[in-house]
Amino acid sequence: MSENYRQMWTELGLDLKAHDALLGVLSEAYQNIFMAQDNRPEAMSYFDFVMSEVHGLRIKELLDEKAAGRKIIGSYCVFVPEEIALAANATLIGLCTGADFATEEVEKYLPRNTCALIKSAFGFKLGRVCPYLETTDMVVGENTCDGKKKAYESFKDIINNLYVMDLPQVKSANGKALLKAEYVRFKEAAEQLTGVQVTAESLQAAIKLVNAKRAAMLRLYQLRAADPAPISGLDALLANQVFFYDNPERFTASVNKICDELEQRIKDNTGAFPAKMPRILVSGCPQAMPNWKLPAIIETSGAVIVGEESCVGERGVRNLVDESGTSVDEMLDAIVERYFKVDCAIFTPNCDRLQHIEQMAKAYNADGVIHYGLQFCTPYLMESMPVQKALEQKNIPCLRIETDYSMEDMGQLKTRVEAFIEQLK
């Protein structure tokens, strides 16, 4: 791939040496983690192709869109509404936050004990290794946790197209009104960026497009309730990671193709793992690409992941937007209604999230829950203890994991995960 795209990467301003090193590590990890799996669905070949071209073909497509007059908007959070971006003739893509990079440079801007996800966003920019970031015409930051709120004050010094969206912290009438006001403001910013006004027709089409994408992922999740599990947790997570930057129509078709195959597998009683394997629900912080550490440990330790209660998981696609609105304002209300149901740990109180963890554990026949928290991610770490307590009161075993993106604790994590899985057996 690299020889075909080096000119493109150079024009984007990437550090080619650092970028080559990143792609080398990514390729090796993908081969060792994903391609080493047994009994993978044949339709996963599409996602293998996507990963082989992860910084190649899709970047070229985005640049072709820009050449044709379309704008590219990057985001770091599922609260940024793709429907509004699409309706304003822009493409929304998720940005890189799943690995450590340029740590020494990052710590000139952020304290050492900052959440790995936030530091990663800085690292990919300062290290000049994320072509997605370099294609953007606007980057949307969002005031979720305190770490992000303050980090964006420094991020604007290294990026010249940052737009910051405020988010409510309480699920109340005032909170919903704030979200509506912010989505209206985002619509106006997107219209100014693209020069294209959002109309009822364009917004309705965008809502249907994104609903179809989410519906395909929900279909995939529901099929994972079968025993034996028809797909590995790693492969399902990969599809969810690709969700954030692939072409929407192509992605939807590719996921539905996997689901067709999985339905046949279930009829044939064929699984990615043997029947009666311990079944794990992973809950907590989002696992952005290429953060595959914990899932790889779990699925090489004698268990299968059957669901993710995460923004890169069911939380990010649960609930569709009501398609019955006829005016832009009605549709914006429907979008707000849908996104306001996202039970991120930024909210207080956050009883809905605990209920969803319990519901998912039951729906996917999980034997236990592993709560994944990134070091220094205060919202999820603070919630992890009451989550564990409540689950264990329902006789659902729970293991709390706190880690970062480094590989230094692999051995320790594997020992703890293996002991938890043994307990489930």
The pLDDT value given to residue 1: 54
pTM here is 0.96
User: What's the whole-number average pLDDT of the chain?
Assistant: 97
Residue percentage of the chain with pLDDT more than 90: 98
The pLDDT value given to residue 192: 98
Is 394 within the bounds of a domain?
A: no
Is 241 within the bounds of a domain?
A: no
> Confidence class of residue 34 from pLDDT cuts 50, 70 and 90?
very high
The pLDDT value given to residue 300: 97
Q: How far apart are CA 200 and CA 70, in angstroms?
A: 19
Question: Which tens digit of pLDDT belongs to each residue from 189-215?
Answer: 999 999 999 999 999 999 999 999 999
Question: Which tens digit of pLDDT belongs to each residue from 383-417?
Answer: 999 999 999 999 999 999 999 999 999 999 999 99
Is 321 within the bounds of a domain?
A: no
Is 174 within the bounds of a domain?
A: yes
Domain carrying residue 161:
2-204
The pLDDT value given to residue 160: 87
C-alpha dihedral, 375 to 377 to 379 to 382, nearest 10°: 20
Is 143 within the bounds of a domain?
A: yes
> Confidence class of residue 96 from pLDDT cuts 50, 70 and 90?
confident
Total domains present in the chain: 1
> Confidence class of residue 347 from pLDDT cuts 50, 70 and 90?
very high
Q: Backbone phi, then psi, for 138, in 5-degree steps?
A: -155, 140
Question: Which tens digit of pLDDT belongs to each residue from 113-145?
Answer: 999 999 999 999 999 999 999 999 999 999 999
The pLDDT value given to residue 265: 98
Q: Check pLDDT > 90 for residue 55.
A: yes
| Alpha-carbon distance values, 124 to 73, 91, 92, 102, 118 (Å) | 17, 20, 18, 7, 10
The pLDDT value given to residue 35: 97
CATH of the domain at 8: 3.40.50.11890
Is 170 within the bounds of a domain?
A: yes
